[in-house]
Amino acid sequence: MTITRNNPPDTPHSRSPLRESVVPVQGHIVASESMESALKHLDAAGVDYLVLTDPVEGPRGVVSRSDIEQLQRKYPDYWSDMRCGNAIVASDRFLTANDSFDEAVGIMQQEGTRPLLVLEEDTVYGVLEPTAVLRWCAEHRPEALQELALQDLG
């Protein structure tokens, strides 16, 4: 599995607002690694999230610093030994680079306001950060902004 950002051809989809808002992957972690290892990766790289991958299943989602902090509060004695793939709830659906912000809003309404993994075919294209979705909502869907803003940011 490739975890790089492609330079797409110049088409109307390649210039879509969602595609332009996706940030490159800042790091990744394998589902079998511990949450403590994930925190060490985050700290070493100075980032707030990692892409969670599985050698068999491929991309699974995003592990955020907020996810780890929640586990630390909920399971203070053994959060560090939990495996990333078991501790993080994988999204039911990923975005594609050609999806709309409306689709991102729908996922966040169902699954919470958190970084969303964006794929292009079998390749991880990047991550759509919650702030980009909230900014878009402020301009295009103010009724959804309040709902998303009230959720815990991931």
Give me the CATH number covering residue 93.
3.10.580.10
Task: Supply the pTM of this predicted model.
Answer: 0.80
Total of domains in the chain: 1
Q: Using CA atoms, how far apart are residues 7 and 136, in angstroms rounded to an integer?
A: 23
Q: Is residue 9 part of a domain?
A: no
> 17 falls in which pLDDT band (50, 70, 90)?
confident
In a domain, 8, yes or no: no
If one counts every other C-beta atom within 10 angstroms of the C-beta of residue 146, the result is 9
Q: Is 68 exposed, middle or buried (0-12, 13-18, 19+ CB in 10 A)?
A: buried
Q: Tell me whether residue 26 is in a domain.
A: yes
Element (H, E) at 59: strand 58-64
Kindly state whether residue 68 falls inside one of the protein's structural domains: yes
Secondary structure of residue 27 in the 3-state scheme: coil
Of 17-31, 65-79, 83-97, the range with the lowest mean pLDDT is: 83-97
Domain for residue 3, yes or no?
Answer: no
pLDDT category, 88, cuts 50, 70, 90? confident
Domain that holds residue 83: 16-150
